[in-house]
C-alpha cells in the first residue's frame, strides 16, 4: 500500500503543519512516511505545497507528483499547481475552477467551520479531519495524539475540535 497526499494553499494557511501532523500520525500507526514542503520566502500569500507519502513498504520518492489525494485550500494554489493528476480532490467550497480530471471531488466549508470555531487559522485541521476520514488509513485518535505533541499548547484544543469537525463533515462523503 502506498498513499500520496499533496496539500496546496497559500502561505499562512497551515498546509505544511497539516502535512507534518499527517506524516507523524502515519508513523505512529506503523507506516513508513516521508513529508516534504515547498514555499517561498514570502511569509504569507504565495502558493505553497506540502507532500506526504505513506506506505507499508520502503519509500523511494520524496514528492507526491501525481497524488492519490489533493487537498486544495485556495484557488490561487489550484492555478499554480494545475498540472497535477490527482485521484481525489478535497477542496474549499469557494474554489470554483478545479482543472483536474479526477475520480472524485469533495467540497468542504473549511473556512466557515473554522470561523465558527473562532479562528480561521484552524482551517488546515478541518481539511485534515475530512481527509483522514475519506482516506480510511489512519485513525483520528492517532492524529489527535500527533496534534498534542506537535502543535503549540495554546492551539491544541481548538485544532482537535477543528479536526473532529472536518471528520464529521466528511461523514456523508464516505
What tens digit of pLDDT does each residue of 151-161 get?
999 999 999 99
What's the rounded mean pLDDT across residues 105-113? 95
pTM score above 0.75: yes
Element holding 8 (H helix, E strand): strand 2-10
Domain containing residue 47: 2-172
What's the rounded mean pLDDT across residues 30-44? 80
What's the rounded mean pLDDT across residues 122-146? 98
Domain total of the chain: 1
Q: What is the CATH number of the domain that holds 45?
A: 3.40.920.10
For residue 31, pLDDT over 80 is answered with: yes
Q: Give the Cα separation of 9 and 7 in Å (integer).
A: 7
What tens digit of pLDDT does each residue of 90-99 get?
999 988 889 8
For residue 43, pLDDT over 60 is answered with: no
Q: Are 50 and 36 in contact (CB under 8 A)?
A: yes
pLDDT at 96: 84
pLDDT at 144: 99
The sheet with strand 88-92 has its strands ordered as 32-38, 47-55, 2-10, 69-72, 88-92, 104-108
Amino acid at each position: 500500500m502506498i498513499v500520496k497526499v499533496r496539500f496546496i494553499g497559500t502561505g499562512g494557511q497551515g498546509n505544511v503543519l497539516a502535512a507534518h501532523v499527517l506524516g507523524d500520525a502515519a508513523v505512529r500507526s506503523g507506516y513508513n512516511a516521508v513529508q516534504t514542503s515547498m514555499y517561498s520566502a514570502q511569509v504569507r500569500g504565495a502558493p505553497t505545497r506540502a507532500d506526504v507519502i505513506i506506505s507499508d513498504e520502503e519509500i523511494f520518492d520524496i514528492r507526491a507528483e501525481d497524488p492519490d489525494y489533493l487537498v486544495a485550500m485556495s484557488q490561487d494554489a489550484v492555478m499554480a499547481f494545475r498540472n497535477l493528476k490527482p485521484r481525489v480532490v478535497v477542496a474549499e467550497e469557494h474554489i470554483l475552477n478545479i482543472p483536474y480530471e479526477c475520480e472524485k471531488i469533495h467540497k468542504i466549508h473549511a473556512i466557515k467551520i473554522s470561523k465558527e470555531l473562532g479562528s480561521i487559522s484552524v482551517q488546515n485541521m478541518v481539511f485534515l479531519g475530512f481527509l483522514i476520514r475519506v482516506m480510511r488509513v489512519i485513525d483520528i485518535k492517532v492524529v489527535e495524539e500527533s496534534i498534542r505533541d506537535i502543535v503549540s499548547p495554546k492551539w491544541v484544543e481548538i485544532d482537535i475540535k477543528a479536526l473532529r469537525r472536518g471528520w464529521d463533515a466528511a461523514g456523508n462523503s464516505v
